[in-house]
Amino acid sequence: MIGTTRDGDVVTVELQREERRNALNTELCTAIRDALTEAVDAGARAIVVTGRGPAFCAGADLSGDVYADGFTDTLLEMLHTVDSVPVPVIAAIGGPAIGAGCQLAIAADLRVAVPDAVFAIPAAKLGISVDRWTVHRLASLVGGGPARTMLLGADRLDAVAGFQHGLVNRIGSRSDAHAWAQQIARLAPLSLRHLKMTFNDDGTQDDAPAEHIAALESAWRSDDAAEARTARSEKRDPVFRGR
């Protein structure tokens, strides 16, 4: 489900659920979190997160335990681990980064994407929503306008547009991402730790107001979310009613 390799001071964490396009479930989220923590404990000075096969991560595994109690908490814990480990994390995006896969990408400090990579968070098509951290982090990276297009419009952003808006730092291959990670690993660790900490102090660390949490939970528990699941199994478009 996950593979970890080391090349000097760079540790690579590879999602290995290729048969599910690296879709996230509770087990994989926990494995990513633990792999990052272990890499730091082992002295890694840069970490690359990537996915095996043609997709970086197709999102949360909608056929798995996504709707079970505790999945969103495990997902957010993993994302905050990416966000908070004291070394740079580079996402090597070799294909689509959708939903929770896009969340994983924006949790990383830097993103290298192949030209045909796409980014999307189509929560509104599924009758669910995303947390305050995701909304604010996406807006801090791409700007309010593109973030609203991606979230309120459920639109995709390709790698070129992502580069233009600042979501993608470099367009290149997984090998390019690893080469960049090697360069970064030779920089001053204490400088990088401070810079990462300061960059990520972008409003995403604040606690969400109670009404925001209630609205998020309401979406996840809604009839609309259930309708989206039913429509997916029946291979039809969902009909949302706002309840």
Asked whether residue 187 is domain-assigned, the answer is no
Structure-block tokens of residue 94 = 């070799």
Report pLDDT for 46.
98
Q: What 3-state DSSP class applies to 120?
A: strand
User: Which residues of the chain register pLDDT less than 70?
Assistant: none
Residue 35's domain comprises 2-175
Question: Which are the contacts of 150, defined by CB distance < 8 A and separation ≥ 6?
Answer: 119, 120, 121, 138, 142, 156, 157
Report pLDDT for 70.
80
Count of other CB atoms within 10 angstroms of residue 201: 10
Taking each helix axis as running N to C, give the angle between helix 132-142 and helix 71-84, from 0 to 180 degrees, rounded to the nearest 10: 40
Q: Which among 76, 129, 127 is positioned nearest to 106, based on CA atoms? A: 76
User: What CATH number is associated with residue 137?
Assistant: 3.90.226.10
Q: Is 148 exposed, middle or buried (0-12, 13-18, 19+ CB in 10 A)?
A: middle
Report pLDDT for 203.
73
Asked whether residue 214 is domain-assigned, the answer is no
Asked whether residue 87 is domain-assigned, the answer is yes
> Which residue has 């791409």 as its token pair?
142
Asked whether residue 145 is domain-assigned, the answer is yes
Report pLDDT for 213.
85
Asked whether residue 99 is domain-assigned, the answer is yes
Asked whether residue 157 is domain-assigned, the answer is yes
Q: What 3-state DSSP class applies to 8?
A: coil
Report pLDDT for 69.
72
Asked whether residue 231 is domain-assigned, the answer is no
Instruction: Work out how many domains the chain is built from and give that number.
Output: 1
Asked whether residue 230 is domain-assigned, the answer is no
Report pLDDT for 197.
95
